[in-house]
Amino acid sequence: MDDYYPNLSPIRNGLACKCPRCGGGKLFSGYLTVRETCEVCGLDLRGHDSGDGPAVFIIFILGFLVVPMALWVEMTYMPPLWLHAVVWGPVIIGL
């Protein structure tokens, strides 16, 4: 079976959202919904469901970006708290 499927980079396939075995089929059927099987090679993909992992990863990245910016704005301009709520909510959703 290893001779039949090409030796593909799992990182490249993951970034392209393709099947980890054949690199041809799509990994997701929705925005974050993993397909049950690969449409090309039939690989069972149910074990690749990451659950809430991607959401937590995004939350950490946004936290590292937004919190220093909010602290810098607070230390530099000292705006009222309502302005922080108005500004940073849309910034977080936009990012």
Cα–Cα distance, 53 to 62 (Å, whole number): 14
Binding positions for Zn ion, rule: CB under 5 A: 19, 21-22, 25, 38, 40-41, 43
In the complex, the smallest distance separating the C-beta of residue 41 from Zn ion, rounded to whole angstroms, is 3
Smallest gap from residue 44 Cβ to Zn ion (A): 10
Distances (CA, A) of 92 to 4, 8, 24, 66, 80: 45, 35, 34, 7, 19
CB of 52 to Zn ion, least distance (A): 25
Query: Which one, 12 or 38, has the nearer CB to Zn ion?
Result: 38
> CA-CA distance, 80 to 57, in Å (whole number)?
30
**Rounded distance between C-alpha atoms, residue 32 and residue 42, angstroms:** 20
Q: Which is nearer to Zn ion, 43 or 73 (CB)?
A: 43
Residue closer to Zn ion (CB basis): 34 or 43: 43
